[in-house]
Structure 1
Amino acid sequence: MKTVNVDLSSQPGLVPVVSLDDQFKPGATLSTEPTSDGPLLDAYSQAVIRAVDQVGPSVVKIEVRKKAGPPHMTRDSSGSGSGFIISPDGLVLTNSHVVHGADRIELILRDGRRPDAHLIGEDPDTDLAVLRVYAPNLTAARLGESKTIRVGQLAIAIGNPYGFECTVTAGVVSALGRSFRSNSGRLMDNIIQTDAALNPGNSGGPLVNSRGEVIFAIAIDTAKYVAGWLVKDGRIRRSYIGVGGQNTKLHRRVVRFFNLPVETGLLVLNLEPGSPAGRAELREGDVIVEFDGHPIAGIDDLHKFLTESQIGKRSMLTVIRHIEKVTLVVVPEESPRH
């Protein structure tokens, strides 16, 4: 076959193509020069290594034992998860579902020590729990700030998946402000989404940025706030009105006629006896569309506004009752303990 060599360097709009024929002639050797991506990959690796070196000593493995089954047929069950030390005096942050209902909690520190730990408090609504461990020479992780987190930044997960100690995976922050439903049924907001591989046993472990600061998975500012109250009171105080219901779509004519700010509402299915909602004369079949001036498009909106500040406060509750718009006065009470 005859080969024709064409010089494209002088042809406008054309890109020269390099022939690989000579690369594959007998006796030819391939170039072993490093690619231009080499320094970038090395910098990526170094960033992960530095972050793990900083946070790794504060990561703990959590082993729990609990009773399972009906009272007359109880059996011991065990589970494991992860957590991280947030203060040198032995406060450990983890997920509520890791330790909820545990009869015994044991921690395995990075250096192999296995001190017992006890639960200070938990909040199933945000899936957070704080433990106390008594041991000397503890290393606390540095906590970051939610406002500094950016989509696309490096995210490093450290935990104990499948019982293996101190396993590291890395990825990026894929999205911010995601919502996720907790085991209690409430919607958790401001969740960080990452593509770092997470497996059973990673629960409670830290998500870390390239500076070695914990950004967690639940927004770190939320985690710090909840942890502070758990240390102080052992729980998070919230208000409630004692209503059960489901989200429902409102007829467009109703929305237009009453100039409602939402097209859906919370349909009341049941009322807890003696509850604030019952005393406010809320009725089954009412559709809640507004609470204390805030539009209510469904159960998650109502949960969001039933905060500690609403306890004992006279609040206006707007409902659609048959073909009427009714305003009621409700005084939320402190939510019973979980």
Structure 2
Amino acid sequence: MYYSDYNRPPEEREPIETIHYQVSDPEPPKKKKGFAAKFVAVGLVCAIAGGLAGGAGAMALKSSGFFGSSTTVYEGSRPTAAVSLANVDGKTVLTAEQIYAANLDCVVGVNGDVTTNVWGQTVRNAVSGSGFVISSDGYILTNYHVIDGVSDIKVTFADGSSYDAVVVGGEEENDIAVLKIEAAGLHAVTLGDSDALAVGESVYAIGNPLGELTFTLTGGLVSAKDRTITMSDGTIMNMLQTDTAINSGNSGGPLFDRYGQAVGIVSAKYSSSASSSEASIEGIGFAIPINDVKDMVTSIIENGYVTGKPNVGILMNDVDSSAQRYGIPAGAEITAILDGSCAQKAGLQVGDIITAVDDSAVSGTTQLKSAVKNYKAGDTVTFTVYRDGASQTVQVTLDEDNQARSDAMDELYQQYSQSIQSQQQGNGYYNWPFGGFNY
């Protein structure tokens, strides 16, 4: 090859050094023994591990590998799980599998007919809730809100058997209801001691989340005890808090402790929405402690309602916030009193504002209901009332809230409502806090 100065004529250009190249195949690279050795070593480890995991039942699958050699993949096997049917004795800690196996036939799905729209159309829901057997002769415990407004109720067991159920009775404020089916020899849950639970203890729920994923087991921990929860209707309840997965359809089902005993009734899930199906908050669920309702359940079975419940015999309203700007205290204002009630006998008056029950402060009607609920009929309690610009105390011996009292209170409410409507249609006006109805 010639290189020269291209500015000179060709005949005057001087050749320069000729460079010769020889092209030949390069020498093949030497194999790296280290990598191959490492690969074989890893393969050996995998083979050993696979052999240990698979045991005698391991199956070898061979295929052509990247390096042209045969690669062995081991597919393991395991024996079929056999869950021992352990007895629930309150002393033996059970596995989750044992708790499920021991209690599956105690849990039921609850469904029925509901009116779904303004046209009055009635349809049968899928499983709308859960419940559990509490006696061998067919008594079933569930939530009141599961059967509220539902007719033609049926309960279904995990084996597919279905029974018509009747409502024996319920307690709306405590969200419990008892159903009865015509059956004998049923397997009932063992009721535990909810007071003995410890925060951090494992708990398990069996129920029907979403009404379709029937007889599902979920587990978690007791997150807190004695939570005061205000329900969507304003009712205040004492609850167990758990991070066990709870969804619509779980309501009314049992919450089991690690011994397989029913220690709670799954009742609610904390939600940022009024609809449980649209809840966006996870890991915060609640169950009614079984100790809180044992006596109530017994009373419902024996009498059809909860005996010993207290009743004051008054209608009441919250003190309006605008009135509080004039120095009127927050509390529950008495708007009507039932003739012959303990409230009338104790000297309570329409217009009194109840601000405390014994040592429990009352800021409104919800707090008053919650405070009184802690007592029984026949108990004498001290009401602090605001009357004529000053506070005073009144001793009240509580009446029993039975069916007759309930009917009388309903009649009092109707009379009061008609009176209010009549006054609103007239020329009167409500001049609170300076007086009552003025004409």
Shorter-normalised TM range: 0.7 to 0.9
User: How far apart are the structure 2 equivalents of 1:77 and 1:331?
Assistant: 47
User: How far apart are the structure 2 equivalents of 1:228 and 1:66?
Assistant: 28
CA contact (8 A) 2:139 2:178 kept: yes
User: How far apart are the structure 1 equivalents of 2:375 and 2:207?
Assistant: 36
**Among 69, 76, 89, the residue aligned to 2:122:** 76
Q: Aligned pair in 2 of structure 1 residues 184, 124: CA closer, same or farther (>3 Å)?
A: farther
Secondary structure, counterpart of 2:245 in structure 1? coil
Question: What is the correspondence of 1:244-263 to structure 2 with a 5 Å cutoff?
Answer: 244-246=316-318
1:132 aligned onto 2:180 = yes
1:282 aligned onto 2:349 = yes
Q: Alpha carbon RMSD of aligned pairs, Å?
A: 3.5
Q: Aligned pair in 2 of structure 1 residues 87, 313: CA closer, same or farther (>3 Å)?
A: closer
1:270 aligned onto 2:335 = yes
How many residue pairs get aligned? The number is 291
Q: CA deviation at 1:226?
A: 1.6
**Among 290, 312, 337, the residue aligned to 1:240:** 312
Which residue does the alignment assign to 2:393? 327
Which residue does the alignment assign to 1:185? 234
Letter in 2 for 1:295: S
Which residue does the alignment assign to 2:292? 222
Q: Aligned pair in 2 of structure 1 residues 272, 186: CA closer, same or farther (>3 Å)?
A: farther
Which residue does the alignment assign to 1:201? 249
1:297 aligned onto 2:346 = no
Q: CA deviation at 1:111?
A: 1.5
CA contact (8 A) 2:299 2:305 kept: yes
Letter in 1 for 2:219: A
User: How far apart are the structure 1 equivalents of 2:204 and 2:246?
Assistant: 10
Q: Which moved more, 1:86-95 or 1:318-327?
A: 318-327
Question: What is the correspondence of 1:48-87 to structure 2 with a 5 Å cutoff?
Answer: 48-68=96-116, 73-79=119-125, 80-87=128-135
Which residue does the alignment assign to 2:42? 29
Q: CA deviation at 1:247?
A: 6.7
User: How far apart are the structure 1 equivalents of 2:349 and 2:235?
Assistant: 22
TM-score (norm 1): 0.74
CA contact (8 A) 2:113 2:124 kept: yes
User: How far apart are the structure 2 equivalents of 1:310 and 1:85?
Assistant: 28
User: How far apart are the structure 2 equivalents of 1:185 and 1:192?
Assistant: 18
CA contact (8 A) 1:290 1:317 kept: yes
RCO higher in 1 or 2 (8 Å CA, sep ≥ 6)? 1
Q: Which moved more, 1:180-189 or 1:231-240?
A: 180-189
CA contact (8 A) 1:122 1:130 kept: yes
Q: Unpaired segments of 5 or more residues in structure 1?
A: 1-21, 35-41, 255-263
Question: C-alpha offsets along residues 37-62 of structure 1, whole Å, 9 cap, x if unaligned?
Answer: xxxxx9xxx71111111111100111
Which residue does the alignment assign to 2:9? none
Which residue does the alignment assign to 2:216? 167
Letter in 1 for 2:368: L
CA contact (8 A) 1:66 1:104 kept: no
Secondary structure, counterpart of 1:164 in structure 2? coil
Q: CA deviation at 1:26?
A: 5.4
Secondary structure, counterpart of 1:143 in structure 2? coil
User: How far apart are the structure 2 equivalents of 1:333 and 1:184?
Assistant: 24
TM-score (norm 2): 0.58
Which residue does the alignment assign to 1:97? 145
CA contact (8 A) 1:316 1:330 kept: yes
Letter in 1 for 2:213: F
Letter in 2 for 1:74: G
Question: C-alpha offsets along residues 227-262 of structure 1, whole Å, 9 cap, x if unaligned?
Answer: 1111112112431331323278999xx9xxxxxxxx
Q: CA deviation at 1:332?
A: 4.5
User: How far apart are the structure 1 equivalents of 2:223 and 2:381?
Assistant: 39
Q: Which moved more, 1:90-99 or 1:216-225?
A: 216-225
User: How far apart are the structure 2 equivalents of 1:56 and 1:214?
Assistant: 12
